[in-house]
A and B are shown apart, each in its own frame.
Chain A
């Protein structure tokens, strides 16, 4: 119980810090970078829900990010629609495409799913790049508006935009928290752990996976739409695989399948990249190997490593029942599969 209290305090402190951040610095550039990292976090949560909690690695999420961004951009710039209406529509469009794509993609598993989504992502990118008459192709889409004012609240300044994005981030974190700590979350984790086992305890893996897929495209689309209205300019590059690889890096460094991983990883890498400004272009010289090493040595990232450490302490609190440790020799998977042969002779 004290653990829960501690957790809550940490969360409150973090939120207060996020709220106070723009007042602590007069440097609008820092606020700009922070806002951008919040936007990425939302996308990373989308990836985390699907890959981290449900076990399906989607490499098409840059595509959904781009669909969200372009939908908002096109609706506001070309169709002159009200920002808020456009935002809602952009999300509806992303989710609808997500629903269709998910229904097909989720028929595949593991490698096939990863390859399939990688190719789908590429198709989305190619369509955006080549469909000049709609998307302006490589010229990009310029002049995407900031959010329209709501009554007296305007979103023109960096600070206002910061709070606008923070609002959505907190909403996403809240939703994620509630999902993970609910029966639905347990269901998804069961699917990640073993789809076969989940199915035999009566879970409809099909519907659950599709729900998760659509929700994760929702997060990706939201992140894209926020990006479009924040940066005001978008080009086909935002749909390229590089974006999904970036998101994946943030997720892995922070901790895949953990609630705070997306925040930790994104903050760390975005700010690290800022420090290594000149190095920006070559950042993957470091982050690439980091990704590989992490997955080998710390597959659940920074947050996961801390959690494992905690669990080990817990394990020590319940010492193994005497004598048993000696017998557990034949616990290993390989052995218990060979053992039956000998046991036949018992009869």
Chain B
């Protein structure tokens, strides 16, 4: 399928003896809403953790927008500069100090020792980095790099930033804010303040949209379960992503608001967002989804349109019949 934005192929993850995800294979089409359902313990959340980079897979691949996740999550420049620089600096200083002090060398040989140490340190780090990245089966876990590329997720067990207000939770999210750089926070305060005002405005709009604007200045830790779900949804919306993985987004949200959220998700899909949603509320997921993927015991059981899934014998046996 050429319009698949996510291609999951033979994904595998084990925890000790438990095989949580066992060769799951499916595609998610760009601009679609895909429902991911299955009994508790089927491996849905683990699949989300693998797709969003929080877990390192034991096998299989995920491609996002045609690129392998592992390629996207390779160490980025900041990190390489910090580590390479630090290794060089440490080795160089050690070379210089040991040369001057205990070895009692003159100034010139000590300077030589410093330079040699620095080169060895930085070079050694870079070489080690190259080698590990080339090793077959090497995996990286840098989920933030996926989020930067527009692949974001919410958490089944909500993770709000409890000390921070609802508004701040949302204002944190937008990518590449100039004020996140300390130098800008000090020296370009005008520009930062301007940007901050527009981020604040968007965050307030999002709060209104989710009908939690009255909680604007409430520490997120004081929010109820359903309100936290909404806050998390708002947070990923602030990121302006391409693909959103929602893990049980309406658990604990009241029915009236659930209706509104569904309408909102539909509208966002019409704008080009792609959704993959884990949800136990069958009415919601059947109504919302274009495609439903049913998982059981870490594998895809069946995939199809909601109507077909509703009548599928295997699904009724594994899942629907139980509830």
A-B interaction: no
Which residues of chain A have a CB within 8 Å of any CB of chain B? none
